[in-house]
Amino acid sequence: MNLAQLLVRAARVHPERVAVLLGDQPVLSYAQLAHRAARLAGHLSGTLGLLPGDRVALFMTNHVGYLEVLYAAWWAGLVVVPINAKLHPREVEFILDDSGAAVLFVSDALLPGLRPFLGGLPSLKKVFTPDGPEWSAALADAAMTPIHREPDDLAWLFYTSGTTGRPKGVMQTHRNLYAMTACYFMDVDDVSMDDAIVYAAPMSHGAGIYNFAFVARAARHVVPVSGGFDPAELVALSSSIGRLCMFAAPTMVKRLVEHVAASGAPVEGFKTIVYGGGPMYVEDIRQALTTMGPRFVQIYGQGESPMTISALAREQLADGAHPRWTERIASVGVAQTLVEVRVVAPDGAPVPVGDTGEVIVRGETVMAAYWHNPQATAKTLRDGWLWTGDMGALDADGFLTLKDRSKDVVISGGSNIYPREVEEVLLRHPGVREVSVIGQPDAEWGEVVVAFVVGDGVQAEALDALCLEHIARFKRPKRYHFVGALPKNNYGKVLKTALREMLLNGEPAC
Ligand code: AMP
């Protein structure tokens, strides 16, 4: 069971079909994509001597070569480590070190910033850039046949930001990702050979792992020329290419819908927009359905069970006549086919219908473990159930509504930001005595990061500069509140709920 077999079959059956496009320009057919993957695999395995199970990291923005690297790695029995291209070089260094990556593929634009951090990585043998001579030379190597992999062999090692400050590597196996793909067909959407997935969100995340359903059908993969999300570009691509499918965070959906509403652009070229990764406000999805019609499907997942916990189907979203439609569109739908979902009390006992508890998940898409982190694994995987850290409630029909996140993660523009990580950076400033970071609801971003700081003569500018030095730009607080003290409970633990209330009631006055 090797994910590379999806590409092998597509290339055999449909060699001439277009596989990869840059904008609306075809770049590679399925035969060419498979051929390049087989040669690159031959280079990684033969010339560089990588062994099955070795790790290949990708620190790349969306690129027409992304799929080639993924499939070459699996072809050679290797494990991919996709890294968020927005991370700070220090964060990337940690991931490369922790995963023991032997090879790194890095975008040209990201390499200069990362280079100073690559010196102390004993496992790293080779660095490739997409348009560099090494990559071209590797493609001249002899092709190999795909290595056999067992279903439980590791395929995808994805780092989530840890609440403890240390990112954790989620181990996804070949079986997990095949199961995720089966759920795409059963619970999200059918895919035809004429469909096109456009990577408007990062290929290192959910958008990228949706590639399998489209390779399985020998459909098209479109990398926007902008490399990411630009509503006008997407509308143009929908007209020129047609049957566009995409994964988008709720903020992206909102911006696309606003663009379509303001420009009156035609929407027929969009087939399916799958949204998830963060909360979607009811008013926003109502507006989206009114403006673009029944083109939406919602999914709820997390790195530990990627894209696959629940789904809210196109038909349910579009069924405005249903008596419980408003509740349903506020929900994240029902459990996907290959997983079971429960809402439980802290002791693991299911809570009554309608009551709130922690969402737990069991099934084929749930990760094997955290990489080299038995403690975190034991905390998160208990008796075969994944404890998501999300609070929710099930209704009598099995629809799940998420209430709050027990982990206090801030989700801004679809990206997760863990307050503790930001707090630790701010506390490096000698003038900062105490700090607490929370998310503030925001119509555009879902949430924005806000920091409460107790300190002596500290300026927001200095804190911003400190963040720029240590963490990704998108994690920086958008606002600072300098306060005399933080609200705390009897045990001295900061009351984040009190901080949130202060923000709701106007500016804080500590
Ligand atoms: P990540 O592991 O980065 O994919 O983040 C996963 C977290 O995002 C989940 O645990 C949820 O808290 C949140 N999330 C994912 N999908 C949804 C959704 N459809 N609605 C609300 N929150 C979501």
Given a cut of 80, whether residue 165 has pLDDT beyond it is no
Res 159 pLDDT > 60: yes
Task: Tell whether ligand 1 has an atom less than 6 A from the beta carbon of residue 415.
Answer: no
The residue contributing the CA closest to ligand 1 atom 21 is 279
Find the 302 Cα to ligand 1 centroid distance in Å.
Answer: 5
pLDDT computed for residue 161 by the predictor: 66
What spacing in Å lies between the alpha carbon of 450 and ligand 1's midpoint? 20
Higher pLDDT, 390 or 30: 30
Q: Is the pLDDT of residue 100 over 50?
A: yes
In this prediction, residue 489 has a pLDDT band, given cuts at 50, 70 and 90, of low
Task: Choose one of 205, 209, 298, 402 to mutate for the ligand 1 pocket test, by most ligand atoms within 8 angstroms of C-beta.
Answer: 402
Determine the average pLDDT of the residues in 372-390. Answer: 95
Residue 506 clears pLDDT 90, i.e. is over it: no
Predicted confidence at residue 406, as pLDDT, reads 65
pLDDT at 492: 56
- How many C-beta atoms surround the C-beta of residue 442 within 10 A? 15
Q: What confidence score (pLDDT) does residue 197 get?
A: 98
Task: Measure the CA–CA gap between 243 and 344, rounded to whole angstroms.
Answer: 40
Rounded to 10 degrees, the C-alpha dihedral 255/256/261/264 comes to 140
Give the closest residue (by CA) to ligand 1 atom 8.
Answer: 277
Banded pLDDT at 508 (limits 50, 70, 90) = low
Separation of CA 278 and ligand 1 centre (Å): 5
Coil, strand or helix at 209: helix
Q: What is the total residue count of the chain?
A: 510
Q: Report the nearest-CA residue for atom 20 of ligand 1.
A: 279
Q: Domain-by-domain residue ranges, the chain? A: 409-504
As a whole number of angstroms, the distance between CA 479 and CA 263 comes to 33
Measure 358 CA to ligand 1 centroid, in angstroms.
Answer: 14
Average pLDDT over residues 57-65: 97
The pLDDT of residue 112 is: 97
User: Does 298 contact ligand 1 (Cβ within 6 A)?
Assistant: yes
Contacts of 230 (CB under 8 A, 6+ apart): 200, 224
Q: Is 162 in the pocket of ligand 1 (CB under 6 A)?
A: no
Instruction: Give residue 280's pLDDT.
Output: 82
The CATH superfamily of 409-504 is ANL, C-terminal domain (3.30.300.30)
Q: What is the band of 507 on the pLDDT scale with cuts at 50, 70, 90? A: low
pTM of the model: 0.87
* % pLDDT > 90, the chain: 83
pLDDT band at 509 (very low <50, low <70, confident <90, very high): very low
Tokens 């923000």 appear where?
A: 503
Contact (CB, 8 A) for 479 and 451: yes
- Least-confidence region, from 14-18, 129-133, 163-167: 163-167
Give the least confident one: 155-164, 226-235, 322-331, 379-388.
155-164
**pLDDT confidence of residue 419:** 85
Q: pLDDT at position 338, please?
A: 98
**Atom 5 of ligand 1, nearest CA residue:** 302
Ligand 1 and 305: CB distance under 6 A: no
To the nearest whole number, what is the mean pLDDT of the chain?
Answer: 93
Q: Answer whether 508's CB lies under 8 Å from 440's CB.
A: no
Q: What is the pLDDT of residue 404?
A: 57
Question: Cα–Cα distance between 464 and 154 in angstroms, integer?
Answer: 39
Position in ligand 1 atom list of the atom nearest CA 405:
12
- DSSP-derived letter for residue 178 is H
Ranked by mean pLDDT, the top range of 1-15, 431-445, 474-488 is: 1-15
CA nearest neighbour of 168 among 367, 10, 460, 452: 367
For residue 510, the model assigns a pLDDT of 47
Amino acid at 58: L
Range with the poorest average pLDDT among 97-111, 343-357, 395-409: 395-409
Taking Cα atoms as reference points, which of 69, 59, 19, 15 lies closest to residue 39?
69
Q: Give tens-digit pLDDT for 11-47.
A: 999 999 999 999 999 999 999 999 999 999 999 999 9
